[in-house]
Amino acid sequence: MSSTVSHLIRLRLDLAYDGSQFHGWAAQPGLRTVEGRLTEALSTILREDVALTVAGRTDAGVHARGQVAHMDISASAFTSLPGRSTRSPEEALRVRLSALLARDADGPKGSSDVVVHSITRAPEGFDARFSALSRSYTYRICDDPDQFDPLRRRDVLWVPDQLDVEAMNRSAIPLLGEHDFISYCKPRDGATTIRTLQRLGAVRNEGIIEVTAQADAFCHSMVRTLVGTLMRVGDGSQSEAWPAQRLIERSRDGQVVVAPPHPLTLERVTYPDHTELAARALQTRAVRCLEC
């Protein structure tokens, strides 16, 4: 977005958060949310209203290591950020924001459950949501009671019986590619449930099962439903063919299994080369239809 034309400057924010004490990303009256906390702090610093656009709206309790958002601020607010310091406006904003978030956080002194790692000028055409090529999530499970670590209870699901990881991976294969995932998500009014699932698989890593899901985008609760479905295969309560059957049925019925939110982390969001950002945003906004 050109500041010479609109007098607005678009900034990209790369951030992480512990979702344990947040009611999700999206601002909600009377509830503590990531968006609400950030916009409050940013508006205080910039002395103007701020609206954030995020790559992926995480649910209550879900964490993020590689979340991305953008905001448009006035050129006057941007240039005034350094004050008498020699910092760039972007770095001045990051430092002041970090200090404010840490000061108001309910936790160990000097820390915060939301951290903005970097603030940069966004290239022409950048949109944190629509320019993204993919979002990648990890869901962590411990299926060995001898390995339950109370220090990890906020980001690992404890299950009492061992899961068959190989069976989970075999059952995930038919779900890859472009499909209508209505059986695996909570649809929103006017939004498509057609997605391209690029990766879905589980590995054991130092006693923890890590389920990775990557797609161009995810519907509401889609990752947790995919994981919950694979877990039913892993514990033997459903056959390896069941996830594919659920996909074909295109139905949200009593068989829907949504895994708990706290073991889920948004790991990263990927974007195309700067020259392709605007084109990608236009492509993403187009409504998809499998029968078109």
**pLDDT, tens digit (0-9, with 9 covering 90-100), for 22-60:** 999 999 999 999 999 999 999 999 999 999 999 999 999
Q: How many CB atoms lie within 10 A of CB 23?
A: 17
Using alpha carbons, select from 125, 91, 117 the residue that is nearest to residue 271: 125
C-alpha 257/C-alpha 217 separation (Å) is 20
pLDDT of residue 37: 96
- Say yes or no: do domains 3-121 and 134-274 share a fold: yes
Please say whether the beta carbons of 97 and 45 come within 8 A. yes
User: Given 14, 18, 49, 59, which residue is catalytic?
Assistant: 59
CATH fold label, 134-274: Alpha-Beta Plaits (3.30.70)
Strands (E), 147-278: 157-158, 177-180, 194-205, 208-215, 264-270
pLDDT of residue 4: 42
Using alpha carbons, select from 225, 281, 209, 215 the residue that is nearest to residue 258: 225
Please say whether the beta carbons of 16 and 265 come within 8 A. no
What is the sign, positive or negative, of the torsion defined by CA atoms of 72, 77, 79, 82? negative
pLDDT of residue 176: 98
DSSP label at residue 274: G
Using alpha carbons, select from 180, 193, 163 the residue that is nearest to residue 248: 180
- Supply the pTM of this predicted model: 0.93
Please say whether the beta carbons of 13 and 71 come within 8 A. yes
C-alpha 75/C-alpha 89 separation (Å) is 11
Q: Is 29 exposed, middle or buried (0-12, 13-18, 19+ CB in 10 A)?
A: exposed
pLDDT of residue 288: 65
pLDDT of residue 291: 55
C-alpha 225/C-alpha 259 separation (Å) is 6
Q: Which residue has the tokens 């068959």?
A: 164
Using alpha carbons, select from 9, 34, 231 the residue that is nearest to residue 116: 34
Catalytic, 149? Answer: no
Q: Which amino acid is at 7?
A: H
pLDDT tens per residue, range 219-244: 999 999 999 999 999 999 999 999 99
pLDDT of residue 254: 65
Question: Where do the domains of the chain lie?
Answer: 3-121, 134-274
Q: What is the mean pLDDT of each run of 10 residues along the chain (292 residues)?
A: 64 97 96 97 97 96 98 96 95 96 81 95 96 98 96 96 97 97 88 94 96 96 97 97 94 85 98 93 77 50
DSSP label at residue 145: G
Q: Which amino acid is at 211?
A: V
pLDDT of residue 150: 97
Question: What is the four-CA torsion angle of 228, 229, 230, 233, rounded to 10 degrees?
Answer: 120
In angstroms, the Cα distances linking 196 to 139, 242, 265 are 19, 20, 19
pLDDT of residue 191: 81
pLDDT of residue 2: 39
C-alpha 110/C-alpha 259 separation (Å) is 33
Q: Which residue has the tokens 């699932």?
A: 197
**What CATH number is given for 3-121 in this structure?**
3.30.70.580
Residues in the chain: 292
